[in-house]
Structure 1
């Protein structure tokens, strides 16, 4: 069984991709297509006895149908007389039944497609949520955005074209089998001609697939540039470098246009050349069979009717397959993205412990590296509930890394990290992180109302409204919200463009207070603010001291003078003490204080 799976994955990658998501639904689509072909084939087969009855009402030759003579035998052996009305009635029955099944197949295919796309989106979203943070920070943001948005739409097109191609391939096979049962010589000759024509298209298909793959790569790159363009718009605008950066976007857009045009031209060539080639094959075979092989025209015409059906669907198959290949690069990207999400998923132990409160945090002989660069070297640190701990040191000393570890975002390379004397790996991460508030120098502001920015889309119940107003009051932004025409229902611009830096920070603080967190992390929370605003925010933070366990990452030492303890970080090692203790025992800290003229 495992060998069969490997064989399918290797030689039927597209089928394997869809089957991995759709399971038995693939075979239902295939089964309905087979039923459609058989019903249509039975209906078409009755054209030969119909022609014979029209020519001579008293004479029908079942042998002319070859292996399909059982259709005429069935009618003759029943109590129904074999005449013109009987044959027409059976033809109507078969074609009506085919139409009904075709309708059901169409509805089922649309239902499956929408279910597939919905599940693909949800699977990717859940996979992204479960991704290791350490892997996420090194990924291409443009690729993630493109895969979750544009690529899903391309996969929807790939699905549609693939299953149309699959349906047409089944119908081609069914009609070819019917043609063989009536006139095998004619069928063999036409099949040989069809195979020869397919060889002409092989290299074109390979070229379309290669172009699709490069199109996906360029689209990922374009999405990444768009993210940078939007994220850095203010800087680019202020420094007059928008046009310079836009030229990169323009070049990428031109490349995407060229690749799309190339794929479109190839699809047009594949679609327009197929029918003339096939007609030449059919005409040649009929001429050879009648003039050199002495075959009768009647069976040839019915066999030709089947082949005409088969060739029509073959042309549609080629067109659909060509279009499918133009989206194949997106499928490869989606499959690769799915594997990456699975491989880099956070490992979760069974029967983990849910914590009710954060009483203590402790790191014991902790080590962490980024590649070959050692960031934390044998660090031990214990933090009690309601303590305010500050982390200081030069850039790259590991301040943000250590708070990311303490918040559960990054795992240690070696050593231990305990929450309430329980190893972090034994704790239910969500129950811990729901008690963590995180405020950075770039506040997170959603393009939504102030209420939703603070309450994170909690229902607007009376209880939540009370919590909201208490939070904005404690964050010293109550007067600002009340002064707005729509108050808490005011919609904030993207990234808080209609707010000052201080207002954005206070909304971020209010959000964490609304969540009733126990551990509050402030990572350079005031470093991007002017001195006056920084002092106001600092007073807000000082007012929270003793109510929360607070971890502060700071460059400005004046903001952490009142911390219970300060962790001085340098070259992977730490020195711990109060502000005054570090002034006495650390020359490095004393130098930092002098440089900042505190």
Structure 2
């Protein structure tokens, strides 16, 4: 027996809303009734038919004494009636045990999935950028399923090992010499299975690593599908995926081969040990035939449960590395969890940034940034790629925690603010629009209930986001499907839908990160109109390469190497910054 079985009991018991101890108790009674029903009745029936001396029953004479105590005559009918009653009670107990098993499996699966979802939600954006996306997806899908399978198999292990222990106890009660043989037989078989289990654990861990790599490659395949197709690199990349599939297949085959050995070795081992026990009992321990029949049945069932347990334990060891992988990921998530401020806010007003610095490792991204953003004003961040614009916008939006310096919202440090209440008032529009594989209504309202109030708000937003013509072209159908990542609509329509979602949210702060860089001139004009319409209604932070979209912003900050080198209105900056003049002239040439 592998005593590691019991070290997992506490962890699995915490996962389940149903106490595992209750499951074990019911399992004990099922085994006890099964043992009495199948084993004790062999000598008892012999006594009932032959009416022999109770001394021939050995320790089982107490059953006869119990009959006599309740004044129940011992005959074939009374013994059979008792056997039927016992098996009916056993059936009820087994039914309850099965229900408990289902509840344990369901509640454990729910708890694992909820924990994963919640831990991912608590993960900071900075932490997310440091975690392999394939690792996350593999743990959230494949490894979670393997973990749940491990729990299901663990219940089978508990069931079989407890049944085996019951038969050992009954064997001790019936014949202590027999019990010694059971222990010896069990220890001998355990040597074989322990060897098999060792390699199963190794291959199980290897399978987790392969799954992680495959998921990572698969995600990159989907993200870069267009590029791989256009350059004919898809076939080469496919070979990487196929190699991982073959490696996974080979590892699973090795685990299956070990499992097959374990399963098919069980019965020969049982028969071998039973044969040895029969020889020992008859020729060395002077056993009689009545005790031999009971001993054989006890021994067979005990070893059957032991070897069945060992087979299940082997499968458990193949799946339990999933638990370690998930536990490791959740631990890393907790390391990068978001700061927990407690002060809830209902609005975002003035934003002040003082002596802000930020680095990735040894590389400094932001250097001594000082900015004041008035309530409902608009600012723009411009500069070359790598100047730190997006990082600064992410810090303002609460996505990244500054390494040093202060971000103050209405006089309060952002680290002291409940981040959820802050983000409830933040809108975010990026260069790559976020479109979910759902309807137009659900994409804009984010799955709000479709009632009159929300529909009226939806239609108002449609008009504000210049989507009215698009809406009317599709028969005013708010249930229009948009496809995966908006594949059924144009880039401009996707961007306008993204803005409409933020308008529907009733935001105080909106961040537009290169929101127009991938759009045609006509669509850019629509987006610029939306930006102008938002002026004075929400605080805007705009990152833009196309300077035409930020002409009307209150202040433009020119960034270079993580520093703000100049700032002012569009006209002011054009007059005093030669670098900004060059940027404007270059883009004017591009428009000619």
- Superposed, which structure 2 residues align to 1:482-501 within 5 Å? 482-485=472-475, 487-501=477-491
Alpha-carbon distance in structure 2 between the residues aligned to 1:146 and 1:166:
28
Alpha-carbon distance in structure 1 between the residues aligned to 2:3 and 2:375:
54
Tell me the residue number matched to 2:170. 178
Alpha-carbon distance in structure 2 between the residues aligned to 1:232 and 1:517:
33
**Pair 1:33-2:27 in alignment:** yes
Cα distance, 1:334 vs. partner? Answer: 2.0
**Pair 1:445-2:435 in alignment:** yes
Tell me the residue number matched to 1:241. 233
Q: 2:332 aligns with which of 327, 340, 357?
A: 340
**Pair 1:374-2:364 in alignment:** yes
The number of residues matched between the two structures is 587
**Pair 1:140-2:132 in alignment:** yes
Q: 1:89 aligns with which of 81, 85, 106?
A: 81
Tell me the residue number matched to 1:210. 202
Q: 2:288 aligns with which of 289, 296, 300?
A: 296
Cα distance, 1:341 vs. partner? Answer: 3.2
Tell me the residue number matched to 2:90. 98
**Pair 1:56-2:46 in alignment:** no
Alpha-carbon distance in structure 2 between the residues aligned to 1:334 and 1:353:
32
Alpha-carbon distance in structure 2 between the residues aligned to 1:247 and 1:110:
41
Q: Report if aligned partners of 1:46, 1:87 keep a CA contact under 8 Å in 2.
A: no
Q: 2:397 aligns with which of 404, 407, 423?
A: 407
- The range that moved more, 497-506 or 369-378, is 369-378
Cα distance, 1:584 vs. partner? Answer: 4.1
Q: Secondary structure at the match of 1:521?
A: strand
Tell me the residue number matched to 1:189. 181
- Superposed, which structure 2 residues align to 1:150-165 within 5 Å? 150-165=142-157
**Pair 1:479-2:469 in alignment:** yes
Cα distance, 1:555 vs. partner? Answer: 2.1
Alpha-carbon distance in structure 2 between the residues aligned to 1:10 and 1:335:
18
Question: In 2 relative to 1, CA 262–509 (structure 1 residues): closer, same or farther, beyond 3 Å?
Answer: same
Cα distance, 1:13 vs. partner? Answer: 4.7
Tell me the residue number matched to 1:507. 497
- Structure 2 residues not aligned, in runs of 5+: none
**Pair 1:589-2:580 in alignment:** yes
Cα distance, 1:595 vs. partner? Answer: 4.1
- Superposed, which structure 2 residues align to 1:558-597 within 5 Å? 558-575=548-565, 576-597=567-588
- The range that moved more, 485-494 or 106-115, is 485-494
Question: In 2 relative to 1, CA 65–419 (structure 1 residues): closer, same or farther, beyond 3 Å?
Answer: farther
- The range that moved more, 333-342 or 581-590, is 581-590
Q: Report if aligned partners of 2:45, 2:79 keep a CA contact under 8 Å in 1.
A: no
Alpha-carbon distance in structure 2 between the residues aligned to 1:518 and 1:432:
10
Q: 2:419 aligns with which of 429, 453, 477?
A: 429
Q: Report if aligned partners of 1:194, 1:278 keep a CA contact under 8 Å in 2.
A: no
Cα distance, 1:416 vs. partner? Answer: 1.4
Q: 2:267 aligns with which of 269, 275, 282?
A: 275
Cα distance, 1:56 vs. partner? Answer: 2.1
Q: 1:309 aligns with which of 290, 301, 311?
A: 301
Q: Secondary structure at the match of 2:478?
A: helix
Cα distance, 1:54 vs. partner? Answer: 4.8
Cα distance, 1:533 vs. partner? Answer: 2.8
The C-alpha deviation readout for 1:301-339, integer Å capped at 9, x for no partner, is 212211111122123212222222221222221222232
- The range that moved more, 115-124 or 338-347, is 338-347
Cα distance, 1:287 vs. partner? Answer: 0.6
Cα distance, 1:105 vs. partner? Answer: 0.2
Q: Secondary structure at the match of 2:321?
A: helix
Alpha-carbon distance in structure 2 between the residues aligned to 1:167 and 1:583:
79
Q: Secondary structure at the match of 2:344?
A: coil
Q: Report if aligned partners of 1:361, 1:418 keep a CA contact under 8 Å in 2.
A: yes
Alpha-carbon distance in structure 2 between the residues aligned to 1:587 and 1:13:
70
Q: Secondary structure at the match of 1:53?
A: helix
**Pair 1:251-2:243 in alignment:** yes
The normalised TM-score by structure 2 is 0.94
Tell me the residue number matched to 1:263. 255
Cα distance, 1:69 vs. partner? Answer: 4.2
Alpha-carbon distance in structure 2 between the residues aligned to 1:83 and 1:275:
36
Tell me the residue number matched to 1:5. none
The C-alpha deviation readout for 1:353-376, integer Å capped at 9, x for no partner, is 322222211111122111221112
Alpha-carbon distance in structure 2 between the residues aligned to 1:170 and 1:344:
42
- The range that moved more, 114-123 or 519-528, is 114-123
Question: In 2 relative to 1, CA 265–485 (structure 1 residues): closer, same or farther, beyond 3 Å?
Answer: farther
Q: Secondary structure at the match of 2:71?
A: coil
Cα distance, 1:51 vs. partner? Answer: 4.0
Alpha-carbon distance in structure 2 between the residues aligned to 1:371 and 1:26:
47
- The range that moved more, 409-418 or 479-488, is 479-488
Q: Report if aligned partners of 1:65, 1:181 keep a CA contact under 8 Å in 2.
A: no
Cα distance, 1:573 vs. partner? Answer: 1.8
The C-alpha deviation readout for 1:146-170, integer Å capped at 9, x for no partner, is 2222322222221211100111000
Q: Report if aligned partners of 1:40, 1:95 keep a CA contact under 8 Å in 2.
A: yes
- The range that moved more, 337-346 or 385-394, is 337-346
Q: Report if aligned partners of 2:49, 2:76 keep a CA contact under 8 Å in 1.
A: no
Alpha-carbon distance in structure 2 between the residues aligned to 1:11 and 1:191:
18
- The range that moved more, 269-278 or 560-569, is 560-569
**Pair 1:539-2:529 in alignment:** yes
Cα distance, 1:174 vs. partner? Answer: 0.7
